[in-house]
Amino acid sequence: MEVNSSPNAVRALIQQARREGAIAGVVPTMGALHAGHASLIEAARKDCDYVVSTIFVNPTQFGPNEDIDRYPRTLDDDLQKCEAAGADLVFTPDTSQMYLPDAESDVRVTGLTQKLEGERRPGHFDGVTTVVAKLFNITVPDKAYFGQKDYQQQLVIRRMVMDLDWGIEIVTCPIIREADGLAMSSRNRYLSAEDRQRSLVLHRSLMLAEQLAAAGIRTAEIAARMSRLIEAEDGVELDYAVVVDRSTLVPAADDAETGVALLAAKLGKTRLIDNQELRFR
Ligand code: PAF
């Protein structure tokens, strides 16, 4: 496995591989890798001849109240995980290699980014789409892999790729959970032992949503029951629990066949998100 922090060198390596006929897959990450990230690299390994993982803690997607310095940095461990999962190349730029100090351009998806996470974290998705656009331009992939855990993010990236005619196939991989149901996230390491225990209510509320959907309960009632369950847990501050259309994120119609339950909640200083796709009876 090669590790390289130079955008030009990385572009040249991948272009060379593609010239030789390789299908190239990219897995963008911010490091602090866990089994969820490994599953993305493994999925890329199955589909592609040349697998690139990127590790870059992107400053432009952090809001003024979000502490980028607190974001975990575990490069040695990350590189081991990339290698074990089958990456051929890891791109590890620093901020000065990714952003010109006088940059004047960004990439923005409107509409989808105004709801839910975008509403609560103004500018967040502009940072994500801009850095992912840059990573796509540097890594020139055929396919790119994202986790379903960041449900809205993968929709926003799909929209961007479609609108800008990139021709990159976006692959969304299933959420990887701990044995007790907590969705894997780089942020889980911040949870105190008590909050770790309390966090299980999030997965319980998604399982409840699944059962209620299968029992034919209406979408607004499902969201209300999820909210009540989470709010009843001491120390868990619910931000939102909604049942929405899987592509547009508008509230799911009562006669919809499918939808997705999305939630966000704070435990101590740690904000967690999770989701579950639903099939209505
Ligand atoms: O999901 C993430 O880790 C980040 O938002 C991404 C897609 C790597 C962009 O920085």
Ligand 1, atom 9, residue with closest C-alpha: 128
- Ligand 1 geometric centre to CA of 131 (Å): 8
Does the pLDDT value for residue 86 go beyond 90?
yes
Instruction: Say if residue 254's pLDDT is above 90.
Output: no
Model confidence pLDDT, tens digit, residues 128-161: 999 999 999 999 999 999 999 999 999 999 999 9
Beta bridge partners of 177: 183
Active site members: 37
pTM higher than the cut 0.85: yes
pLDDT above 70 covers a percentage of the chain that reads 100
Query: In this predicted structure, what is the pLDDT of residue 138?
Result: 98
Predicted confidence at residue 71, as pLDDT, reads 94
Residues with CB under 6 A from ligand 1: 28-30, 58, 61, 128, 131-132, 150, 153
Query: How many helices (DSSP H) and strands (DSSP E) are in the chain?
Result: 10, 9
CA of 41 to the centre of ligand 1 (A): 14
- Domains (range + CATH), the chain: 2-173 (3.40.50.620), 186-275 (3.30.1300.10)
Instruction: Tell me the H-state helices in the chain.
Output: 7-19, 35-47, 75-85, 95-98, 116-120, 124-139, 151-163, 193-198, 200-214, 219-231
CA of 28 to the centre of ligand 1 (A): 6
Name the residue at shortest CA distance from atom 3 of ligand 1.
29
Token code pair at residue 178: 């701990």
> Which pLDDT band holds residue 201 (cuts at 50, 70, 90)?
very high
What is residue 267's predicted lDDT score, i.e. its pLDDT?
A: 98
Mean pLDDT, the chain, integer: 97
Residue 12 and residue 219: Cα distance in Å, rounded? Answer: 50
How many angstroms separate the alpha carbon of residue 281 from the centre of ligand 1?
34
Confidence of residue 54 (pLDDT cuts 50, 70, 90): very high
Give the C-alpha separation, 199 to 194, whole Å: 9
Q: Looking at the predicted structure, is the pLDDT value of residue 80 above 90?
A: yes
Atom of ligand 1 nearest to the CA of 150: 1
pLDDT of residue 177 exceeding 90: yes
pLDDT band with cut points at 50, 70 and 90 for residue 240: very high
